[in-house]
Structures are given as C-alpha cells and as structure tokens.
C-alpha cells in the first residue's frame, strides 16, 4: 500500500548508505527495513509503526536496533533525503511528452526493472 516514490527512495537510500558504510551480512535486512522506514517518513502520509517492521523481520531485530540504524543512516547521508529518483524523472518526462498509456506502462516497467538488475 506504499507509493511508488517510496520504493525508489528506499533503494536510493540503501545504495547511498552501502556505498559509504560497510554493513555485515547479518545487519543487511536491518539496513533495508530502516531505509524503508526513512523513505516512508519522507514520502508517505501515514508511516508504518516500528513494531510492524519488527514483525516483517520476524523479530530478528529490536526497536532499539532499528532506531540505532536509522540514526546511523541519517548521519551517514548527512540528513540528505531529498534526491531525484528515476520514478520522479519518468513521471515528469512522460507528462511533458504527453505520452500514451502504453508507453507509460513500458517506461515504468523499465525503471522498476532497473531496481533489481545491476546492468540496468
């Protein structure tokens, strides 16, 4: 039920954080869930509760773990959460181009594919 912008911002936060910090494999899921929490705080109207994120992780982490990782990510990124994402660019570009629905669907498929395919 989250916005598309949230997904792209989450991936961007994870990428920028991992480019600057080394995270042990055991804490990688924690970094991802915390990045999603930060993206939700930036993009969404209603933010998921930390306890829900703990359940998503199957109670592998505590509330203190998530809040500590949130502090670590925010400090590492120097509180810079406002970044252009491919979704934002594509939405504006397609609107300016007055594109057809078929082209819009293909375009959004391609940028979503770029989230999981490193070569993209």
Question: What's the pLDDT tens digit per position in 87-102?
Answer: 989 999 999 999 999 9
Residues of the chain with pLDDT > 70, as a percent, come to 100
Which structural domains are found in the chain, ordered by start?
4-77 (1.10.472.10), 86-115 (no CATH)
The pLDDT value recorded for residue 109 is 93
Does residue 64 have a pLDDT over 90?
A: yes
Q: How far is residue 54 from each of residues 2, 73, 81, 84, 110, measured CA to CA in Å?
A: 18, 18, 23, 29, 31
Mean pLDDT, the chain, rounded, equals: 93
Buried b (16+ CB within 10 A) or exposed e, 5-26: bbbbbbbbbbebbbeeeebeee
Q: How far is residue 8 from each of residues 13, 34, 36, 49, 87, measured CA to CA in Å?
A: 9, 14, 10, 20, 7
The pLDDT value recorded for residue 5 is 92
């Amino acid at each position: 039920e989250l916005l598309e912008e949230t997904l792209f911002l989450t991936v961007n936060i994870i990428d920028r954080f991992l480019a600057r910090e080394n995270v042990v494999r055991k804490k990688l899921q924690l970094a991802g869930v915390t990045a999603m929490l930060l993206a939700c705080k930036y993009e969404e109207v209603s933010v998921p509760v930390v306890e829900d994120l703990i359940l998503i992780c199957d109670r592998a982490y505590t509330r203190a773990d998530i809040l500590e990782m949130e502090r670590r990510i925010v400090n590492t990124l120097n509180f810079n959460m406002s970044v252009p994402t491919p979704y934002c660019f594509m939405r504006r570009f397609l609107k300016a181009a007055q594109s057809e629905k078929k082209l819009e669907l293909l375009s959004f498929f391609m940028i979503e594919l770029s989230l999981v395919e490193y070569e993209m």
